[in-house]
Amino acid sequence: MKLTNAKLIAKVKAPLKKLGYIFFKEPISSAQGFFSKKLDNGFYLTLGLTISRYIESNFTGTFYYSKTTRWAAVWDDIPEESYIRPGSLMSTEERKLYFDTDNEQLRDYWWDAFEDSSVASFIM
């Protein structure tokens, strides 16, 4: 079964709302699902979801930390470190535990939207 934007959003919208994220119905980004939350320090943590072009049930997410809700803007004075995949935020031990793999080079991970346990793992 092919994963669509609507199916992906239906799976993650409610759990992300519980974590304080607001869903943007019509994002100006290239994400297939776009969520943002304002942090106590006045910055925004946005999460853009991307559906795999190769495995039709898989998706991943990329965080963006900024003073705006813009996602994936890395020009001029905005450091590239503000746009990062979850695996790059973890230590080798955390990646091994969270992604359940011995591959120490893994920085990117794709979740299966049609497996409830996989979606729950993404939300954690």
- In degrees to the nearest 10, what's the CA dihedral of 106, 112, 118, 122? 60
Q: Regarding predicted confidence, which is higher, 83 or 6?
A: 6
Report the C-alpha gap between 72 and 95 in whole angstroms: 23
Axis-axis angle for helices 116-123, 5-18 (nearest 10): 50
Q: How far apart are CA 107 and CA 102, in angstroms?
A: 12
pLDDT digit string, tens, across residues 105-123: 666 788 899 999 989 888 8
Q: 47-89, pLDDT tens digit by residue?
A: 989 999 999 999 998 888 887 777 666 566 666 666 677 777 7
